[in-house]
Amino acid sequence: MSLAQNPLSVEVTLPREDVALVTVEGHLDLDTATDLQAHLANQLHHGRRHFLLDLSAVPFMDSSGMNIILRVYQEARGLPGSVHVIAPTPAVRRVLDLTGVSLTVPISEKVDEALELVDRQQLSDGPQD
């Protein structure tokens, strides 16, 4: 029902070998969250460490969507890696702020911005490897 009305579209590109840019379009809620989770799990499986989630085309996100972001965040943190949210709509931004997720998951307005953060992190993480 909700799936038919608000189908979720997920596209994955690889700006770097270990960076997955995941572009999501549609409502991210209880009905669609597992869809996104499947894509993210697949990328994790293929060795991506950094996840850039472009949510500019997500008008609504509930706690299910947010839990997916938190889950991939927890997975990536241990690699080590990172999760970035790019260009969230105000409603989604509000949820991220409300739940405090924005305190942990950096929010960028552009993909380049996020990639820069990734590079910076890799530099600081590098010597530890």
Residue 6 tokens, joined: 């608000």
| 22 CB burial (10 A radius; 0-12, 13-18, 19+) | buried
Q: How far is the CB of 82 from other proteins (least distance, A)?
A: 13
Encoded tokens for 61: 């996100």
4 binds other proteins, rule: CB under 8 A: no
Largest CA distance in the chain: 50
- Residues 99-118 vs other proteins: string with x where CB under 8 A? xxx-xx--------------
Minimal distance, residue 22 CB to other proteins, in Å: 19
Q: Residue 20 or 68: which CB sits closer to other proteins?
A: 68
Q: Which stretch binds other proteins (CB under 8 A): 8-16, 39-47, 48-56, 67-75?
A: 67-75
**Chain residues in the site for other proteins (CB under 8 A):** 2, 27, 29, 60, 62-63, 67, 70-71, 73-74, 90-91, 94-95, 97-101, 103-104
